[in-house]
Structure 1
């Protein structure tokens, strides 16, 4: 029996047999976990990373049909080549997971330079838009498909120090809704908004104070990549066939606020 504070060891998954998914930024963390979850559901999976070696190493970890393709998320020629390779290998591009992300800009917004602004928005916003456009042109526009963007709960609020990153994720949430309308009814477009998850990108948010972050979270732990992967697979599948333009929050209740007082009884009214 599982508890709220322990990630389930197994989950029921939709059937994606015969479908093919591309996952950008799939060499580790949420991307790698999502690739495995898609493969577990029966999909063929194409994992991308900036370097071919990293993409190959990630694909080698997947139990199922998977290949790695070196493709920097913001390079259109490389993205197009990846989609062409996917079509040549598997014959379709049914699912696109825009997961690649970066956060090189820390501190107040007015302290950032154009280089950090451009890199943040190129990877976190332009890349998902470009990959979606290419996948739609190559396959989904005619045959249909599902796109899931990895946003963040940071895009739903404000937080000191990572305003640039959060702004890019807020924009991605908007773009998700816009694309859902523009590409309807053939292509569904949704997003996930993870809270603090055990990934390298989010290390600064949990590594040296995990116990405190977990204690303040309603479900008493930080997230695991598998938590987010399960939600992505649901949104990508026919189980979410009447869901589009939505952003699913996966944060263990972090947006509810500090749960510590409620656990001790200090926040309980009479």
Structure 2
């Protein structure tokens, strides 16, 4: 996951050259793929993880122009320090990808306790508010920028055992619209809604039934993190300059297929 090389070995000009991005929850999976897609297009990228060593390893994999920063998504002091570091180091912050997510509340909704509910909502809903507010106040509010939230097709449907997670993502889809209204025209805010993707977070959904799920998906396979990373890079770039408040479904057709989500 390094920027594409030109014939002479140098990096050619990319559509995001000169831009700086922060991607939360980017030590693996969709976050790492999104950071890679942004880096491939020329952006400088700061990737976060609650584990500093994992953040640094992700940055190493991304190559020159990437940095790792230890920051749990809901830790306001760490989030502020990361945003401050980014602006102080690179002089700007143009793109924020609110990717960090969790799902400790697995099982029927009425079986969940307040602690699991709160953790899900804090990471999946409050953290995007926190990081967006910091990015807007530090840079984007004056200079403009793009925010991309990682939602889920679960925000559009219902399924057994992931009800609290789906509720959090439905709320994030609505939050995306609300922030787009409040932050325009300087800042664009959009979201992606991945289907079932080969990540650790979604492993319970595909591990024992990948063939069946792929067969019920019009494009014939589950998603890979890179499928989502490319969509993030599109929404963050100038090709999406007249798109805000929208959620782009990237699911291989799973929502229109006949299989379970």
Aligned to 1:72: 72
TM-score by length of 2: 0.93
Aligned to 1:206: 206
CA distance in 2, matches of 1:170, 1:91: 34
Aligned to 1:192: 192
1:14: Cα distance to partner?
6.4
Instruction: Map 1:91-102 to 2 at 5 A.
Output: 91-102=91-102
CA contact (8 A) 1:39 1:62 kept: yes
Instruction: Map 1:9-158 to 2 at 5 A.
Output: 15-158=15-158
State the Cα RMSD in Å.
Answer: 1.3
Give ranges in structure 1 of 5+ residues lacking alignment.
1-9, 260-270
CA distance in 1, matches of 2:228, 2:209: 21
CA distance in 2, matches of 1:197, 1:205: 9
TM-score by length of 1: 0.90
Map Cα deviations across residues 221-250 of structure 1 (whole Å, 9 max, x no partner): 000000000000000001100000000000
CA distance in 2, matches of 1:109, 1:211: 28
1:108: Cα distance to partner?
1.3
SS at match of 1:165: helix
For the pair 1:216 / 2:216, whether they are aligned, the reply is yes
CA distance in 1, matches of 2:14, 2:131: 24
Aligned length: 248
- Give the 4+ runs in structure 1 shifted more than 3 A: none
Give ranges in structure 2 of 5+ residues lacking alignment.
5-12
CA contact (8 A) 1:14 1:237 kept: no
CA distance in 1, matches of 2:14, 2:124: 28
SS at match of 2:149: strand
